[in-house]
């Protein structure tokens, strides 16, 4: 049995704002019968067309999907459209006192319906993609190329969720979006996307210092390993540990999936290149089996 919080249970058993708004200003629809959950969100705006005065929902899905929809409608009432757009899926989960990680995709569905409703109302283009997925896209208003064919989930959507929730493993991505949760065929692609997002984040801070004291260099090496390198390895189920720094020589040991991996030599070279790039040109990485 899922470990739902009392707030989730309350919003499931006594959902707020169920139903339709006949002349709604904005409607957001995500999910499908085939996917196993779907949400249709209705928003009514005030006379200035700025503030949300009423919100209602119709949801097909599990207890946490219903609770997330109910929470969402309660959260956005009284907010301006801009304030509503700032609501994240984590905010929905927090409002409910937390969701089991496997159910985070329910909060993502809520946030997405909200975004789709507001973007559509504002006439912001969310072009439909064209693809041959199995049973319809879960987020039809999100552009990009379909990555997960089973659930119809695009790369653009996945990158957004990976980024906003700082996800580092394919399993987390599945929990948050369902992508990869059925046939699993797209998991390598999901790992690539994680690496891309992490790489982009790292690239933004890429400045190699001119001259470094030994102490500063050691600090920076540790920082780069933590911030830029280990997350990349985590995405593939691997890890590394810093064993020693002796001048320009950096000794690391590979852990988890990286330990004993045939391509750990390549991984060591990748680590070296990254450290040379971000710390100092003369760095040599040595793999030790400590």
Query: Contact residues for other proteins (CB under 8 A)?
Result: 2, 12-13, 15, 18, 29, 33-34, 36-40, 58-63, 65-66, 102-103, 135, 150-151, 174, 178, 181-182
User: What's the CA angle centered on 79, arms 75 and 80, to 5 degrees?
Assistant: 145
Taking the least distance from each CB to other proteins, the nearer of 108 and 232 is: 108
Mapping DSSP to helix (H, G, I), strand (E, B) and coil, where does residue 25 land? coil
Q: How far is the CB of 159 from other proteins (least distance, A)?
A: 20
Is the distance from CB of 92 to CB of 68 less than 8 angstroms? yes
Taking the least distance from each CB to other proteins, the nearer of 80 and 169 is: 169
Taking the least distance from each CB to other proteins, the nearer of 12 and 119 is: 12
Q: How far is the CB of 27 from other proteins (least distance, A)?
A: 10
Identify whether 35 is a catalytic site residue: yes
Mapping DSSP to helix (H, G, I), strand (E, B) and coil, where does residue 124 land? coil
Q: How far is the CB of 170 from other proteins (least distance, A)?
A: 13
Q: Which residue has the tokens 């072009």?
A: 127
Q: How far is the CB of 62 from other proteins (least distance, A)?
A: 4
Q: How far is the CB of 1 from other proteins (least distance, A)?
A: 8
Instruction: Read off the tokens for 90.
Output: 């984590």
Identify whether 258 is a catalytic site residue: no
Taking the least distance from each CB to other proteins, the nearer of 41 and 253 is: 41
Taking the least distance from each CB to other proteins, the nearer of 153 and 275 is: 153
Count, residues in the chain: 290
Taking the least distance from each CB to other proteins, the nearer of 105 and 129 is: 105
Q: How far is the CB of 36 from other proteins (least distance, A)?
A: 5
Active centre residues (catalytic):
35, 106
């Amino acid at each position: 049995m899922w470990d739902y919080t009392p707030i989730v249970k309350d919003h499931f058993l006594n959902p707020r704002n169920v139903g339709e708004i006949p002349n709604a200003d904005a409607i957001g629809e995500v999910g499908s019968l085939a996917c196993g959950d779907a949400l249709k969100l209705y928003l009514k705006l005030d006379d200035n067309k700025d503030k949300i005065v009423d919100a209602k929902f119709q949801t097909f899905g599990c207890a946490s999907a219903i609770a997330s929809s109910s929470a969402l409608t309660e959260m956005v009432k009284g907010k301006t459209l801009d304030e509503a757009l700032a609501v994240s899926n984590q905010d929905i989960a927090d409002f409910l006192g937390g969701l089991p990680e496997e159910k985070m995709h329910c909060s993502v569905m809520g946030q997405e319906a909200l975004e789709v409703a507001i973007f559509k109302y504002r006439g912001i283009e969310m072009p439909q993609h064209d693809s041959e997925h199995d049973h319809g896209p879960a987020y039809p208003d999100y552009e990009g190329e379909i990555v997960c064919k089973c659930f119809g989930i695009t790369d653009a959507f996945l990158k957004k969720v990976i980024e906003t929730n700082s996800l580092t493993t394919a399993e987390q991505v599945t929990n948050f979006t369902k992508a990869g949760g059925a046939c699993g065929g797209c998991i390598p692609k999901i790992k690539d996307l994680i690496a891309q997002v992490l790489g982009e984040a790292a690239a933004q801070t890429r400045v190699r210092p001119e001259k470094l004291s030994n102490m500063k260099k050691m600090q920076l090496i540790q920082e780069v390993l933590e911030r830029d390198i280990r997350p990349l390895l985590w995405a593939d189920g691997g890890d590394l540990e810093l064993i020693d720094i002796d001048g320009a020589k950096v000794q690391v040991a590979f852990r988890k999936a990286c330990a004993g991996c045939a391509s750990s030599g390549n991984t060591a070279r990748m680590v070296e290149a990254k450290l040379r790039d971000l710390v100092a040109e003369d760095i040599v990485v040595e793999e030790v089996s400590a």
